[in-house]
A and B are shown apart, each in its own frame.
Chain A
């Protein structure tokens, strides 16, 4: 039994561990040079850090998990981009080598089972000026601070929604950035209700409570205010952000007039939750549910032999991703997931639901937008253009909208504006990207290892 796992984050690593336990031969692929994904982001090997645990949460547990990659039945392929999946041959097409460079090696694999654990990236809702240099996603600030020890600015505002803003603020402080405030758009009552309902169900996530307490202490020590019910509604500056306008927002995220406040900053990072990266699942023919890959109790997708785990099946954080990965790994290897694994996964899912209740996306965020606010960053399609095109009776439907306004047709293929455009204009986001990652023509023309000539 051979199992290929795409993604070496918490879900992928747990899947590898349990697929190996069930006796399979396992190949783990990841675009990065080091395992861990976004959550267990490691410092570059070249930094030769003597105390990496100082910036990496749960380093000991992570070290245990990644040791699985040295198992004799496990093949670990870092620096590997899966750029396509051929659903007729069930063939996984891989490029190996430096990111986006020409001359990467091509290889392809046809496993008995495929586990997709491709994760998510930040969702950032548009606001006037969000295209200015100096405006980052929360994930970018985190990646640069934790992964490279680079601070995105000296005076940074952290804003958006969700508990992820807290570790981001902590990482920024850790690389010497000044954090002027952390703004959670949801009001305190929503956050509190979400976190504190049915407290007995939090028991499995006791670690989370300790983590939250630590973030709170760090913010307090650095005198960083945490303000629920406030949002960034505009960024200003000529060729880069110089100031941001924040405002008090109601539970639906509509602005309370007269509460605007301006902060002078040299960077702002904003995250409103996460968007799944399900293009390989879509290429395989898996059905989605509101953008997430649909799975059954054994993490099976709707396509035979294809499993999914982690953020692409629903946003739930690292603990949930690992619990899902464990079930997927076992099932993909032909095993029957033990009841403990299933129970752990279901408890984790309940926690994910709690997160979603505590940090929802308010529906009135579009009231922040103006006619000339850019929605599609690649093609610079504005909110005005989109609303006019949506009202155009001659060319209805998402496809015509795309061609008419070019929203989603740029280099990112709608990864960033996709959920926003479908929310603003109606229609379902398809995540249809047959070439899942860029490949150069020369690389495409070269013969791949593992394929007939």
Chain B
């Protein structure tokens, strides 16, 4: 379980949330425009989406594009850093395993 996105009505910054819709391994998921792919997955309660060589689960670690732990496939392009990629409406996200792409 993760903490998730702070609800708009409790956020002092005064956001205007525009929902966007994407799929994660075929399942529909919703975020708001401007979020990173990682932010949407975390806000949906998902903390891992990649497996390493040994099969261990990984998600976000560094959050700023340095560690490459959060790699996933966006619209058939593999090895995209989820923390650096702003999500777009209609994105098809697929989780990755290292064995598959090695």
Interface residues of A (CB under 8 A from B): 31, 33, 38, 43-52, 54-55, 98-102, 121-122, 131, 133-137, 139-144, 148-154, 156, 174-177, 239-240, 266-267, 277, 377-380, 410-412, 415-416, 438, 440
Cβ A100 vs Cβ B64 within 8 A: no
* Chain B nearest Cβ from A155, distance in angstroms: 9
B69 within 8 A of A: yes
Bound: A258/B98 CA distance, A: 40
- Given that A102-B77, A148-B35, A415-B66 are known contacts, is A131 also in contact with B13, CB under 8 Å in the complex? no
Cβ B79 vs Cβ A54 within 8 A: no
Residues in chain B near residue A152, CB distance under 8 A = 2-3, 42, 60
Residues in chain A near residue B59, CB distance under 8 A = 133-134
| Given A54-B14, A144-B63, A152-B2, 16 new contacts (CB under 8 A) | A45-B34, A50-B13, A50-B16, A99-B65, A136-B60, A137-B67, A140-B64, A144-B38, A148-B36, A149-B6, A150-B3, A153-B1, A239-B48, A377-B58, A377-B61, A412-B69
Residues in chain A near residue B3, CB distance under 8 A = 150-154, 156, 175-177, 266-267
What would be 5 A-B contacts, judged by CB atoms less than 8 Å apart?
Answer: A46-B32, A121-B64, A137-B61, A140-B62, A149-B15
Which 9 A-B residue pairs are closest in the complex by CB-CB distance?
A140-B63, A44-B34, A151-B3, A46-B34, A50-B14, A411-B68, A133-B48, A46-B33, A48-B16
* Chain B nearest Cβ from A391, distance in angstroms: 24
- Given that A47-B15, A152-B3 are known contacts, is A133 also in contact with B34, CB under 8 Å in the complex? no
B22 within 8 A of A: no
Kindly identify which residue among A100, A121, A140 contacts B85, using a CB–CB cutoff of 8 Å: A100
Bound: A33/B81 CA distance, A: 15
Q: How large is the interface on B (under 10, 10 to 19, 20 to 34, 35 or more residues)?
A: 35 or more
* Chain A nearest Cβ from B24, distance in angstroms: 15
Residues in chain B near residue A411, CB distance under 8 A = 68, 71, 79
Q: Mark B42-68, 1 if CB is under 8 A from A, else 0.
A: 110001100011101111111111111
* Chain A nearest Cβ from B28, distance in angstroms: 19
Residues in chain A near residue B18, CB distance under 8 A = 46
Residues in chain A near residue B74, CB distance under 8 A = 100-101
Bound: A175/B10 CA distance, A: 9
Residues in chain B near residue A43, CB distance under 8 A = 13, 15, 34
For the residues of A in contact with B, the DSSP-based class is loop
- Given that A102-B77, A411-B71 are known contacts, is A150 also in contact with B57, CB under 8 Å in the complex? no
Cβ A380 vs Cβ B56 within 8 A: yes
Cβ A137 vs Cβ B16 within 8 A: no
Bound: A121/B34 CA distance, A: 22
Bound: A32/B17 CA distance, A: 21
Cβ B14 vs Cβ A101 within 8 A: no
- Given that A45-B34, A121-B62 are known contacts, is A51 also in contact with B14, CB under 8 Å in the complex? yes
Between B4, B66, B71, the greatest number of chain A beta carbons within 10 A of the residue's beta carbon is seen for B66
Bound: A176/B3 CA distance, A: 8
Cβ B63 vs Cβ A240 within 8 A: no
Cβ B66 vs Cβ A277 within 8 A: yes
Residues in chain B near residue A46, CB distance under 8 A = 18, 32-34
B83 within 8 A of A: yes
B99 within 8 A of A: no
Bound: A90/B48 CA distance, A: 41
Cβ B6 vs Cβ A100 within 8 A: no
Residues in chain B near residue A377, CB distance under 8 A = 58, 61, 67, 69
Which residue of chain B has its CB nearest to the CB of A99? B84
Cβ B62 vs Cβ A151 within 8 A: no
- Given that A149-B5, A410-B68 are known contacts, is A49 also in contact with B63, CB under 8 Å in the complex? no
Which residue of chain A has its CB nearest to the CB of B7? A176
Bound: A390/B64 CA distance, A: 31
Bound: A133/B52 CA distance, A: 12
Cβ B39 vs Cβ A144 within 8 A: yes
Bound: A52/B11 CA distance, A: 10
Cβ A240 vs Cβ B48 within 8 A: yes
Kindly identify which residue among A135, A148, A379 contacts B61, using a CB–CB cutoff of 8 Å: A135
Residues in chain B near residue A136, CB distance under 8 A = 60-63
Cβ A240 vs Cβ B57 within 8 A: yes
Cβ A100 vs Cβ B84 within 8 A: yes
* Chain A nearest Cβ from B17, distance in angstroms: 8
Cβ A51 vs Cβ B12 within 8 A: yes
Bound: A415/B42 CA distance, A: 24
Residues in chain A near residue B48, CB distance under 8 A = 133, 239-240
Bound: A416/B67 CA distance, A: 6
B90 within 8 A of A: no
Cβ B36 vs Cβ A137 within 8 A: no
Residues in chain A near residue B62, CB distance under 8 A = 121-122, 136-137, 139-140, 416
* Chain A nearest Cβ from B52, distance in angstroms: 6
Bound: A379/B52 CA distance, A: 8
Bound: A51/B8 CA distance, A: 13
Bound: A299/B22 CA distance, A: 46
Which residue of chain A has its CB nearest to the CB of B20? A46
